[in-house]
Amino acid sequence: MREYTLNLSMEELEKRTHKDYLVTKKFLKADAPEYAALADGDKEALKHLVRAANILGEINLHLDNADNVPFREFLEEEISKGNKQAELTKILFDAQKGINAIDTMSNPIFLAKEVGERLGRGVYPADLSVEEFHKILIKMLKDGKVEKVKNMLNQRSVVERDGGELVGISYIDKYKSEFAKMADELDRAAEVSTNEDFNEYLRLQAQALRTNDPMLDAYADKKWATLQDTPLEFTITRENYADEMTGTVIENEELKKLLDENGINPIPKDFLGGRVGIVNKKGTEALMAIKKYLPTLAKNMPYADEYEQNIKPDEETKQTMVDVDMVTAAGDVGEYRGGITLAENLPNDDKLSLTIGGGRRNVYHRQIRFISDMKKLQERLDEILDKDQHKYYLDEADHWFTIGHENAHSLGPKKGCEQLGKYRNIIEENKADMGALAFVDLLTELGMYTEEQRKQIIVTTITDNFLKSKPTLSQAHRVRTVMQNKFFSERGAYDIVDGKIHVNIEKVVPIAKEMLAQIVRIQIEEDFDKAEKYVLDNFVWTDNMELIAQKLQKISKTLNGRLETELADKLSQEGEL
């Protein structure tokens, strides 16, 4: 067994695992009415889906960091010997689902002294530097090994050393037996679940897990994106925000030229998550309100006549949306690393299914958005927001904003924008936020929001643009928040009066439109230098941001978080019916 030195002291661990610092998000309980209301077949299917998700979570541990599994074994061994420090470390390991993560203050949380930051996570050799990576690729391309390089620079391969070269091995081949077991669980679920469309998707997905063929993924994704009225929710989430290695290739001029000449578009690697839940009918109905307006929004995007969009102005919208009571979130989608996402709009623009007429599907995570402590919320407002504007702060408005954000991912240029490298995700998230805000007036005119709701979305969003700490450049979801805050403050969207935010409500939407236009221009042009300048010009942590951050830190002590998945835990241990 590999040995490790635990990195966090007892004092640090006791603090971080204390309930004031470690928030618990509670998913459905074993006696949840949502579960009790399911048909017997769906209950049985749910069990298999939870198992499938758990297998995927194990696979993703490998993709995330090669030390994850050996380190967990080491912790378990130490715990069995009565090592208290290992026991507390294991709580954080399970919460962040891995050996290395970041906390809500953007501090790195590395659990073993021996394992530091790795740009290439578990999908590149641990000892591979960016320089060596580029050097090997250049040599291989000059030697005419184009196919071999192609196999490396895509979403779905693990890169390993191969003599003096590198080789890409597809995820499916690399973890063949695990994926096969997962496929069996999906097929079993498809035998008993009551919804034929859902079952067809599960079977397609199972096939895609058994054979290494990206087209099989595309067929499964295409079917998945049509699912609207199913009792159950199951998704393999595939997002590539965490790979910081692949994107570096476009920053090397010589390499970029060779890649262009050989027609290779490098796409960062996917990390995999398994989401299982029960579709909430009422919540889903509320989401659907926006659907009929999407073609109008597409028409009103900046420079709309210059590009193709996922949502077509004059066609039926190929986008489904569901609100889900969460049963489990395994792997990437369930890692608490500074937080857990409120919703996802998939597949992302780099995926093949979008090229064969597939649409997208939005899934909202109910249990993640529920606020457990209204008293804390009030304390926060008392500290940071002008008292006269408290009436416009509403946690429900944050959900409306999220709906706008997810849908805005489907607006704008329909392309992966890989040439923007490490700024690609920041700019895409920035677009989604500004899309949500820029259309608030239009959606109010069209009757989706009332005047009161309009003000609530604006004030809530500007208030929530203040973070508890300055993020690092790798946190796409936070960097864009700082950029927006800076952009808004310079243009007078808010003032800080006596240490509190006062939102100049009427200025917000026009500023959001201005920013959205800049973002879309960058996505159209796909010029790395322009993207870099735009991000660095706006990613500035101002004194006002620091002032509010200090106040937020006093109120919310949360540093880490975890999921409590009682129903899933019970189902995963049940025998066959």
Q: Which residue is nearest to Zn ion (CB)?
A: 432
User: How far is Cα 435 from Cα 439, in angstroms, rounded to an integer?
Assistant: 6
In 471-544, the DSSP E strands lie at 494-497, 500-503
Q: How far is the CB of 286 from Zn ion (least distance, A)?
A: 19
Contact 218, 352 (CB under 8 A): yes
Q: Is residue 432 a contact residue for Zn ion (CB under 5 A)?
A: yes
Q: Give the three-class secondary structure for 162.
A: strand
Q: How far is the CB of 414 from Zn ion (least distance, A)?
A: 16
Cβ 66 to Zn ion, closest distance in Å?
Answer: 29
Q: Which is nearer to Zn ion, 216 or 432 (CB)?
A: 432
Burial of 205 (0-12, 13-18, 19+ CB in 10 A): buried
Nearer to Zn ion, 233 or 429 (CB): 429
DSSP 225: T
Interface region with Zn ion, contact rule CB under 5 A, candidates 200-208, 249-257, 410-418, 427-435: 427-435
**Among the candidate windows 21-29, 271-279, 379-387, 429-437, which touches Zn ion by CB under 5 A?**
429-437
Q: Is 436 exposed, middle or buried (0-12, 13-18, 19+ CB in 10 A)?
A: buried
Span interacting with Zn ion, options 4-12, 99-107, 422-430, 506-514, rule CB under 5 A: 422-430
Binding string, residues 380-419; x marks residues near Zn ion by CB under 5 A = ----------------------------------------
CB-nearer residue toward Zn ion: 7 or 407: 407
Name the minimum Å distance from CB 409 to Zn ion. Answer: 6
**CA angle centred on 327, ends 338 and 320, rounded to 5°:** 85
Taking the C-alpha atoms of residue 269 and residue 195, their distance in angstroms, rounded to an integer, is 32
Q: Which is nearer to Zn ion, 208 or 432 (CB)?
A: 432
How big is the site for Zn ion, counted in residues (CB under 5 A)?
Answer: 2
Q: Which residue has the tokens 């029960």?
A: 278
What is the nearest approach in angstroms of Zn ion to the Cβ of residue 404?
11
Q: How far is the CB of 476 from Zn ion (least distance, A)?
A: 9
Dist CA 154 CA 145 (whole Å): 15
Taking the complex as a whole, the smallest distance from the CB of residue 21 to Zn ion amounts, in Å, to 27
β partners of residue 25: 563
Shortest Cβ 247–Zn ion spacing (Å): 18
Is the CB of 198 or the CB of 487 nearer to Zn ion?
A: 487
Choose between 350 and 429: whose C-beta lies nearer to Zn ion.
429
Q: Both tokens of residue 348?
A: 């992302």
Token output for 254: 């010589």
**Residue 364: which residues within 8 A CB-CB, separation 6 or more?**
283, 287, 321, 322, 323, 324, 342, 343, 399, 402, 403, 406
Q: Which amino acid is at 362?
A: N
Cβ-based nearer residue to Zn ion, 221 or 429? 429
Q: Which stretch binds Zn ion (CB under 5 A): 123-131, 304-312, 431-439, 440-448?
A: 431-439
Query: Judged by CB, which is closer to Zn ion: 8, or 432?
Result: 432
Beta strands 22-26 and 100-102 are: unpaired
Longest CA–CA span in the chain (Å) reads: 68
Q: How far is the CB of 88 from Zn ion (least distance, A)?
A: 33
Compare residues 42 and 270 and give the one whose CB is closer to Zn ion.
270
Distance CA 554, CA 345 (A): 33
Q: Which stretch binds Zn ion (CB under 5 A): 112-120, 168-176, 212-220, 426-434?
A: 426-434
User: Which parts of this chain interact with Zn ion (CB under 5 A)?
Assistant: 429, 432
